[in-house]
Amino acid sequence: MEHTGKDEDQGLDRRSVLRRGAVLGGALVWTAPAVQTIAGPAFASGSPRCTAEVEASYTYYEGRVKKTGCVVYRFGDTAECCDCIEKLSALPLPVAILACAFGGKCTMVGKGTCAA
C-alpha cells in the first residue's frame, strides 16, 4: 500500500499543518514556542471550559539589524476545542492546539503580544 503522506484519521498531513501555521503566523518567522499554557476547567458560572494559548518567539531583520519579538495566539472556549486538545495530549501542547485549530475544532479568539 502506497503512503500518500496524508493521515486519513486526522485529516491533515504534516505539510498542511506547517503550511497553515505559516499562514496563521503571517509574516512572522516561526521558531520553537517559548511558552505553552492551557488552563484547566473554570469553576465560575459562564466561564469557558479551557483556554489554550500558544506563545511563540520570532526573529526578523530591519535592514541589517536583527530584532526579536513574541506573539500569543489564543484558542478555545468551547467543549469541542477542549476535548480535541485533551484527545491529542500525547503531542506537545502547541502542536495539539494548532492541529485542533486546523481541524476546525478550535477557533482563534485572540492574538496579542507576549507579556514582558
pTM of the model: 0.52
Q: How far apart are CA 74 and CA 92, in angstroms?
A: 16
Domains in the chain: boundaries = 31-113
Q: Each residue's pLDDT tens digit in the chain (116 positions)? A: 455 554 445 556 666 655 555 545 443 344 444 444 444 444 344 555 776 888 888 888 889 999 888 989 888 778 899 899 889 989 988 888 989 999 999 988 889 988 76
Residues ≥6 apart with Cβ < 8 Å to 101? 24, 75, 107, 108
